[in-house]
């Protein structure tokens, strides 16, 4: 990366693209490691509202969340780096504390332990992770995330057995021109996404209404006139 920066002039900057997909009641966001994330996009949207005189409104992005089951994880062909977070309600917490020779008083302010199980480079540690999954108790298990693949050679994904992760899918970034098509195909084929969208749209707290202040923002001319002074 430093070699690329060396090629830039003093007035040049290197940009990394993110992609946004707007559905009827949701939006999808895709980005590479160094590109802006969804949180930054939320800030951008609110900056736009302020620029057009609608600062009394605020856009808050809420992710569609998922949680997998132990059987989902066990079915994975490849398991890699895994993270476990346990609180005092889990028996494993006491095992760790005792390993260090600590007392309840000494660890009174230690809320949780986070354990990272890290494989050797590109190695499949499925037998070890399966043993962990079957052994650890659910009570006091705040977080358990397993990086896995459904099939050998497939794309890595994070499986959440405790805690919740964003509903997501994998987009191949090698061919930028195909990203739009890939996103559309993933939306059609992602059954969990369809389930969560249906759940979201049937939620009584989801109000399908538009403030009157937004009524003039459906065409480019209205945006141009509001932003003309910027």
The pLDDT value recorded for residue 69 is 84
Residue 10 lies in a domain: yes
Which domain does 51 fall in, by range? Answer: 2-63+216-226
Higher-scoring residue by pLDDT: 73, 219: 73
**Pair (159, 127) in one structural domain:** yes
With 0.85 as the threshold, say if the pTM is over it. no
Residue 184 lies in a domain: no
Please give the span between the terminal C-alpha atoms of the chain, in angstroms, as a whole number.
34
Tokens, residue 35: 């590109």
Phi, psi dihedrals of residue 189, rounded to the nearest 5°:
-100, -10
Residue 183 lies in a domain: no
Give which of 51, 42, 19 is closest to 226, Cα–Cα.
51
Residue 191 lies in a domain: no
pLDDT higher than threshold 70 for residue 122? yes
Q: 54 near 89, Cβ under 8 Å?
A: no
**Pair (135, 98) in one structural domain:** yes
The pLDDT value recorded for residue 4 is 66
**Pair (45, 89) in one structural domain:** no
Coil, strand or helix at 22: strand
**Pair (119, 145) in one structural domain:** yes
Tokens, residue 17: 């693209």
Give which of 223, 208, 228 is closest to 54, Cα–Cα.
223
The pLDDT value recorded for residue 229 is 58
Give the pLDDT band (50/70/90) at residue 162: confident
Of 144, 163, 182, the residue at which a domain comes to its end is: 163
The pLDDT value recorded for residue 133 is 92
Coil, strand or helix at 86: strand
Residue 18 lies in a domain: yes
Q: How many domains does the chain have?
A: 2
């Amino acid at each position: 990366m430093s070699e690329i920066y060396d090629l830039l002039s003093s007035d040049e900057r290197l940009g990394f693209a993110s992609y946004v997909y707007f559905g009827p009641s949701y939006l999808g966001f895709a980005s590479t490691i160094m590109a802006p994330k969804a949180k930054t996009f939320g800030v951008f949207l609110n900056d736009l509202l302020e620029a057009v005189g609608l600062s009394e409104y605020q856009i808050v992005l809420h992710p569609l969340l998922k949680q997998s089951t132990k059987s989902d994880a066990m079915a994975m062909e490849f398991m890699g780096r895994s993270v476990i977070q346990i609180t005092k309600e889990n028996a494993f917490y006491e095992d760790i504390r005792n390993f260090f020779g600590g007392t309840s008083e000494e660890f009174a302010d230690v809320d949780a332990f986070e354990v990272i199980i890290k494989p050797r480079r590109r190695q499949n540690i499925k037998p070890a992770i399966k043993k962990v999954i079957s052994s650890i108790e659910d009570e006091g298990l705040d977080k358990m995330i397993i990086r896995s693949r459904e099939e050998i050679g497939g794309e890595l994904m994070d499986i959440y057995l405790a805690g919740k992760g964003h509903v997501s899918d994998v987009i191949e970034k090698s061919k930028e021109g195909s990203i739009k098509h890939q996103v559309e195909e993933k939306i059609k084929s992602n059954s969990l996404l369809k389930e969560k969208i249906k759940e979201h749209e049937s939620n009584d707290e989801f109000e399908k209404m538009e403030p009157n202040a937004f009524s003039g923002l459906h065409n480019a001319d209205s945006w141009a006139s509001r932003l003309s002074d910027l």
